[in-house]
Structure 1
Amino acid sequence: FLDRKGFGAALKALSLAKSLFTGNSKSFFVPTNK
């Protein structure tokens, strides 16, 4: 069920959720290459 593509999508969703919970949603919408 979880192939590489599905796993990558899950990780991206998790990172987005984490950024939203930590209040860093702006950094997600505004690409900052540090």
Structure 2
Amino acid sequence: MAVPKKKTSKSKRDSRKAVWKRKAAVEAQKALSLGKSVLSGRSNSFVYPQDDEDDNEE
């Protein structure tokens, strides 16, 4: 016979939501930091293609 699940408490629900949001905030901060690093030209941990100025002049 089917039995309904027990209701999750508000504190447990809020705790899970807080963890999820904290993880998202940390990842957003990492992405912003990486973007700033790439734009400043001091990035050592991110490899991306760069346009050669010599190739564009031809």
Consecutive unaligned residues of structure 1, counting only runs of 5 or more, are 30-34
Ranges of 4+ aligned residues in structure 1 off by more than 6 Å: none
Q: Taking structure 1 as the reference length, what is the TM-score of the superposition?
A: 0.67
Matched positions, count? 26
Gaps of 5+ in 2: 1-19, 46-58
Per the normalisation by structure 2, the TM-score is 0.42
- The sequence identity of aligned pairs, in percent, is 46
Greater relative contact order (Cα < 8 A, sep 6+): 1
Structure of greater Rg: 2
RMSD of Structure 2 on Structure 1 (CA) = 1.4
